[in-house]
Amino acid sequence: MEILEAIKNRRSVKSYQSRPVEREKIEQVIEAGLWAPSGQNQQPCRFVVITDSSLLGEIERELYRVCSMVKKLRPLIALFRPELRGEKGKRALRSIRERAFHGAPVLIIVGAMRDSSSTYHKDTAMATQNMMLAAHALGLGSCCMGWIGALNSSRRARKLLNLPKGFEITNAIVLGYPERVPKAPPRKTLDETTTWF
């Protein structure tokens, strides 16, 4: 698949078949993440793949529990988490869903050790984008899990996933064969977004 075409045709898929994803394809998706650039070539990205449906369910329930708590305590938490302040914070919290994983058979958590690099937030986001493009090229759908970082403060999730101390979950995608592929939302234009000098 052509790259510019893949970039435009990739959608955030929110409805999946229960059909499992071949291990080889999951590996190709992660490999695409490993080939993303990283600050000073530190390659900080680490991946946790969950295909076990019972664990997947437990993580999804725990995510909902933690996110619901964040929603309730937003004014307090926003004191030290600027991204939860104001209208944008309220809007983000409205997007919390009980079935956050959309029935997908695979979750790939992306993260890094906090002392690994000064740019791991960017590096892991770039790796995640590579992974979503690779998934699309392999006939898979994916969707980025905006709220996954809430699990960093969950002892239960950290224990279930055996995350080492100092490990930060930064992103995650669900992965699977799409049941429905949504239409592309219209994009902002160059004129609306770009200044030239």
Of 152-191, binders to a second copy (CB under 8 A) are: 161-162, 170-171, 185, 187-190
Task: State which of residues 20, 55, 153, 180 lies at the interface with a second copy (CB under 8 A).
Answer: 55
Site for a second copy in 100-139 (CB under 8 A): 114-119, 121-122, 125-126, 128-130, 132-134, 136-137
What is the enclosing helix (H) or strand (E) of 190? helix 190-193
**Contact call for residue 79 and a second copy (CB under 8 A):** no
Binding-residue total with a second copy (CB under 8 A): 76
Cα–Cα distance measured from residue 165 to residue 109, given in angstroms and rounded to the nearest whole number:
16
| 144, 7, 135, 179 alpha-carbon torsion, rounded to 10° | 70
Task: Read off φ and ψ for residue 106, nearest 5 degrees.
Answer: -135, 135
DSSP string, 155-175: HHHHHHTTPPTTEEEEEEEEE
Task: State which of residues 15, 49, 64, 65 lies at the interface with a second copy (CB under 8 A).
Answer: 49
The contacts of residue 65 (CB under 8 Å, 6+ apart) are 154
**Contact call for residue 10 and a second copy (CB under 8 A):** yes
Instruction: Identify which range of 2-10, 14-22, 64-72, 150-158 contacts a second copy by CB under 8 A.
Output: 2-10
In angstroms, give the least distance from the CB of 123 to a second copy. Answer: 8
The dihedral region occupied by 173, where left means phi > 0, alpha psi between -120 and 50, and beta the remainder, is beta
The Cα angle at residue 169 between residues 132 and 30, in degrees rounded to 5: 35
In angstroms, give the least distance from the CB of 28 to a second copy. Answer: 7
Q: Are 42 and 118 in contact (CB under 8 A)?
A: no
Task: State which of residues 57, 76, 95, 139 lies at the interface with a second copy (CB under 8 A).
Answer: 95
**Contact call for residue 14 and a second copy (CB under 8 A):** no
Task: State which of residues 65, 92, 177, 179 lies at the interface with a second copy (CB under 8 A).
Answer: 92
Q: Which is nearer to a second copy, 19 or 23 (CB)?
A: 23
